[in-house]
Amino acid sequence: MYLSIKGLSKSFGELEVLKDIEVNVEKGKVLTIMGPSGSGKTTLLRCLNALEEPSGGVFTFEDGFSLDFDKKVSKQDWLRLRRKSGMVFQSYNLFPHKTALENVTEGPIIVQKREKKQVQEMAERLLAKVGLRDKMHLYPHQLSGGQQQRVGIARALAIEPELMLFDEPTSALDPELIGEVLGVIKELANEGWTMVIVTHEVQFAEQVSDEVLFMDGGYIIEQGPPKQVLKEPKEKRTQQFLQRILNP
């Protein structure tokens, strides 16, 4: 197991967004999180990347690193948590004044202080990997949404994370561009990356996931293999959600 999450909670003032979340992230597997808007999916993902501070609960990693959010967490531990994962956002979040290549090299050179020449070579390899070898010197405004998102994936991979996090990576894309991004994520899954993906793409989730969580109201309502959760859901709330998505 890569990560064990126990009793995770998150509140914004009076509003409790995550309630007693317990889940294991298996090494080399794909965990997909689904559920309606406001169910807590993105907040859960942001807690994994230290973009949100959990209100309570414990993270325990396979290397023995553990964080107890019922106690004060040191700045060093926050940084250590953040360095474990690469995040791909739904709205790309690229630097508009930097080329695709510069967007990918920024983190490793500026934050991780890695050697510029090696980072440059690695970034070129990663952009080739996501099908953008010929676009590396273009700026975000010169790229389609799908191409920008693929730069975002290359950028997340460049920091050499243990865990890849995807927050609805296709929700901002036109329908004809969705396939090119999902294709890259599928390739990463086949390579054995440990991934947590928030998505509404049911067919994709079925193809790529090892486990699916369905969330609603800050709780995990149902979890299990994709065939069970997406094809034969036990819970009425899961059934209603899937029916609405598949038969809009």
Could you read off the pLDDT of 37-82 as tens digits, one per residue? Answer: 999 999 999 999 999 999 999 999 999 999 999 999 999 999 999 9
* Dist CA 106 CA 95 (whole Å): 10
* Dist CA 91 CA 227 (whole Å): 30
The per-residue pLDDT for 247 is 81
DSSP 117-165: HHHHHHHHHHHHHTT-GGGTTS-GGGS-HHHHHHHHHHHHHHT--SEEE
- E strands, the chain, are 3-12, 15-25, 30-34, 56-61, 66-68, 85-88, 163-167, 194-198, 211-216, 219-224
Strands 3-12 vs 211-216: parallel, antiparallel or unpaired: unpaired
Tokens 């298996």, residue?
Answer: 26
The per-residue pLDDT for 175 is 87
Instruction: Please say if the pLDDT value at position 6 is more than 80.
Output: yes
The per-residue pLDDT for 5 is 98
Would you place residue 164 in the very low, low, confident or very high pLDDT band (cuts 50, 70, 90)? very high
Contacts of residue 64, Cβ cutoff 8 Å, sequence gap at least 6: none
Could you read off the pLDDT of 96-153 as tens digits, one per residue? Answer: 999 999 999 999 998 888 999 999 999 999 999 999 999 999 999 999 999 999 999 9
Instruction: Please say if the pLDDT value at position 234 is more than 90.
Output: yes
Average pLDDT, the chain: 95
Could you read off the pLDDT of 21-41 as tens digits, one per residue? Answer: 999 999 999 999 999 999 999
Homologous superfamily (CATH) for 1-84+199-248: P-loop containing nucleotide triphosphate hydrolases (3.40.50.300)
Domain layout of the chain by residue ranges: 1-84+199-248
* Dist CA 46 CA 69 (whole Å): 14
